[in-house]
Amino acid sequence: MHSKEQISHDEYQKTADWLMSQTKHRPQVAIICGSGLGMLADTLKCQDSFAYSDIPGFPQSTATCMRPHDVFGPSTPRKPSRALAETTFPVRVFKLLGVETLIVTNAAGSLADGLQPGDIMIIKDHVNFPGLVGLNPLCGPNDDKFGPRFPAMSGCYDKGLRSIAMEITKQLGVASLVQEGVYAMVGGPNFESIAEARLLHRLGVDAVGMSTAPEVVVATHCGLRVFGLSLITNKVVKSYEDSDSVNHEGVLEVGRLRSHTVQQLVTELISRMEINNNNTNNAV
């Protein structure tokens, strides 16, 4: 595991070469899962599976699996001592493997009045609070082989994929549970204070969590399409008169209850992407 902030292109390539030597599959889609959403592993019928600890350079997590069109990777825990370059390491490896689209999922607390626990928010934009104060995975010398020094983040959540996902929710009969919104990443690991929740709400944030933004920044930097969704697991407390509080066990429980719907949405979205890719490849 890396211990320095800057990681060389050769180190990313070494990991990609190792993975390509272990499997004949060349994935086009990568999925990163958040808290309580590891059940998305069941969505993919793994043909090749590797322990993260066996993959050179990968941050420690549980497992990854590969099939012709997809890579699956659980998100890594955020630790103060872990450099963001390490946390986002797999994203650049995905790029070198030939991945074209990154799907990111997370568990988030709702700040919007119209988002209830069990709802799904398709991410249309984010506020990366750690990034605003310099905790950005792109800090340090830029690797021009991956992308430009100053990448634009406007439109980083692909509009076309968002539109397809909304169509899928109608076909699945779950459109009433789904809406688009703005996600904010905060540092954690504590949940937000009431004053912090009120501030985020006034800034236009619909849901808040502790992950996702760094991976999206790196994915956008290296030219990947990104689709993101948040499973709303709790209402963030915004009133001093409210006696409710959030706990991690409750977050995981909502993930279990809504797992089937999330699986259906992601599976169908990937299927649509595969069909579109096949049509493009077969075009004269």
Q: What's the pTM value of the predicted model, to 2 decimals?
A: 0.87
Contact in structure between 270 and 72 (CB atoms under 8 Å): no
Q: Is the pLDDT of residue 153 over 90?
A: yes
Which tokens go with 107? 């568990």
Contact in structure between 228 and 216 (CB atoms under 8 Å): yes
105 beta partners: 229
- Give the model's pLDDT for residue 85: 85
In order of their start, the domains of the chain are: 9-233+246-279 (3.40.50.1580)
Q: Is the pLDDT of residue 81 over 50?
A: no
- Give the model's pLDDT for residue 79: 44
The dihedral through the CA atoms of 92, 98, 99, 100 has a sign that is positive
The 10s digit of each residue's pLDDT in 89-121 is 999 999 999 999 999 999 899 999 999 999 999
Which tokens go with 96? 């070198």
Residue indicated by tokens 């934009």:
125
Percentage of the chain lying above the pLDDT 90 cut: 58
Q: Is the pLDDT of residue 123 over 60?
A: yes
User: Which residues, including other chains, have CB under 8 Å from residue 136's CB and lie 6 or more apart?
Assistant: 84, 128, 130, 214, 217
